[in-house]
């Protein structure tokens, strides 16, 4: 078992066990929520221990994120079966899918079969194998540390099954944190899930929600059919401290950037063409950072545009990605086009807002992302590619930049800051742990 950090102290004194599959040195969006929350929990006097796998199948690794883990947090790394080795044995020529299960129409037959098997036969997800290792470690730690509450965060949603078992055995309040939907996640809908598989996901999901002391979600669009009294929305938020040291530097080109991966149902190429059509004959520079574009998608973005600059950087560490956000004139955000899209909030949205660079969102005008962008004067949302108001917004922004006027946003962002979200979380934890019916 790994070495725990020093116990936290303070007026709240809550002892929290966080169980998460994704944790630094894992990179990408999956780790950002709790990595941002941890320092604020410690500063508010909470003791936090984290259980995570020692070796795991991560889409990217970002060792720079390790510095954001407070020294006071105990990180316990458990053994784990590296699933990619098993996958590689059965499908040696097919990369193991990570997170989004994005369906590529150009994929070969074997790849499509492997994806179908993953979606319909491995339920809720392939990382459930880790539960058997984490359960033993969690049990020992609960006996030693006398926690006030257990928190599991998913995806992978199999982690919630572990939290449910621990709660039933040790009679400790347990909170299930949903960073994404479970049974209604967009990529399952778009990738050929059978009715039986959907039913099994739904049944597990209902059991978890029913048993949990409380449920956290990252947006109002998750769990609309669940018990409203149990569901609490905590945005991922943005961390102002992470932007310290980054400052906007103007260049000779109007820089348009997309940061992050693409998942099923996102049409980035269409949004790029929309921007180009709004600014014909302009000197534009497009940057795609940490973006998993196929050759077909990359070609579609660049086709018939020899006079424009396009750059693709498949990975940058988190700090560098934030600096890229700051040093842009326009940031692109694409909401997945699928059922339930109105409730989709991407992790990057809040960091986009925190960068103070205007955001162009392609998604539902009455969606939650659009509401956040509008209420914080952070940019503009288009729902269709014939939106003239969106073109006017882009053109006005370009004119400001060309005239060397400011193109930065200035609205108050306090209520989407990480500090604000954690204060709400601490109030919820105190209510649950002080209530006789906290279970």
If DSSP states are collapsed to H, E and C, what string results for 103-167?
Answer: CCCCCCHHHHHHHHHHHHHCCCCHHHHHHHHHHHHHHHHHHHHCCCEEEEEECCCHHHHHHHHHH
Helices 195-211 + 109-121 axis angle, to 10: 40
Residues in the chain, overall count: 439
Distance of alpha carbon 439 from alpha carbon 436, whole angstroms: 8
Q: What is the pLDDT of residue 63?
A: 92
Indicate if the pLDDT at residue 361 is higher than 70.
Answer: yes
Sign of the CA dihedral with 413 first, then 419, 423, and 425 last = positive
As a whole number, the mean pLDDT across the chain is 89
> What region, left, alpha or beta, does residue 217 occupy, with left being phi > 0 and alpha being psi -120 to 50 degrees?
beta
Q: What is the pLDDT of residues 149-186, one digit of tens each?
A: 999 999 999 999 999 999 999 999 999 999 999 998 87
| Tens of pLDDT, residues 255-266 | 999 999 888 889
Torsion from C-alpha of 129, 135, 136, 141, nearest 10 degrees: 140
Domains and CATH numbers, the chain: 15-237+418-434 (3.40.50.2000), 240-413 (3.40.50.2000)
Region 288-306 average pLDDT: 87
Q: How confident is the model at residue 32 (pLDDT cuts 50, 70, 90)?
A: very high
Q: Taking residues 4-23, what's their average pLDDT?
A: 72
Residues 360/333, Cβ–Cβ less than 8 Å:
yes
- Does the pLDDT of residue 420 top 90, yes or no? yes
pLDDT of residue 87: 61
Q: Each residue of 185-243: pLDDT tens digit?
A: 877 766 678 899 899 999 999 999 999 999 999 999 998 889 989 999 999 999 999 99
pLDDT of residue 7: 40
């Amino acid at each position: 078992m790994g070495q725990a950090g020093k116990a936290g102290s303070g007026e709240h004194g809550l002892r929290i066990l966080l169980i998460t599959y994704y944790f630094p040195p894992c990179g990408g969006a999956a780790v950002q929520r709790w990595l941002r929350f941890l320092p604020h929990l410690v500063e508010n006097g909470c003791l936090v221990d984290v259980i995570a796998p020692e070796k795991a199948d991560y889409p990217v690794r970002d060792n720079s994120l390790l510095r954001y883990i407070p020294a006071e947090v105990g990180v316990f790394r458990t053994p784990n079966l590296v699933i990619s080795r098993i996958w590689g044995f059965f499908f040696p020529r097919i990369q193991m899918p990570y997170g989004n299960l994005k369906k590529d129409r150009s994929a070969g037959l074997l790849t499509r079969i492997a994806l179908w098997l993953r979606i319909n036969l491995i339920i809720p997800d392939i990382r459930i194998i880790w539960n058997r290792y984490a359960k033993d470690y969690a049990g020992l730690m609960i006996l030693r540390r006398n926690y006030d509450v257990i928190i599991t965060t998913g995806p992978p949603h199999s982690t919630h099954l572990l939290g449910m078992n621990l709660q039933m055995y040790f009679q400790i309040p347990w909170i299930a944190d949903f960073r994404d939907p479970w049974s209604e996640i967009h990529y399952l809908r778009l990738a050929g899930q059978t009715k039986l598989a959907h039913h099994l996901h739904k049944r597990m999901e209902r059991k978890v929600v029913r048993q949990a002391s409380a449920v956290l979600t990252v947006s109002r669009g998750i769990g609309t059919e669940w018990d409203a009294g149990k569901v609490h929305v905590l945005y991922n938020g943005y961390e102002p401290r992470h932007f310290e040291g980054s400052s906007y530097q103007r260049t000779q080109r109007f820089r348009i950037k997309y940061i992050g991966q693409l998942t099923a149902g996102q049409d980035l190429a269409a949004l790029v063409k929309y921007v180009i059509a709004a600014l014909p004959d302009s000197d534009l520079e497009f940057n795609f950072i940490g973006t998993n574009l196929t050759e077909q998608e990359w070609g579609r973005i660049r086709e018939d545009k020899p006079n424009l600059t396009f750059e693709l950087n498949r990975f940058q560490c988190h700090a560098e990605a934030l600096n890229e956000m700051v040093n842009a004139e326009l940031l692109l955000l694409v909401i997945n086009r699928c059922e339930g899209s109105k409730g989709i909030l991407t992790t990057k949205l809040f960091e986009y807002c925190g960068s103070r660079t205007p955001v162009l969102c392609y998604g539902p005008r009455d969606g939650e992302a659009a509401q956040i962008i509008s209420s914080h004067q952070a940019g503009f949302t288009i729902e269709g590619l014939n939106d003239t108001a969106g073109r006017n917004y882009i053109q006005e922004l370009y004119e400001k930049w060309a005239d060397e006027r400011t193109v930065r946003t200035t609205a108050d962002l306090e209520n989407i800051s990480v500090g604000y979200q954690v204060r709400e979380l601490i109030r919820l934890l105190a209510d649950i742990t002080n209530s006789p019916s906290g279970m």
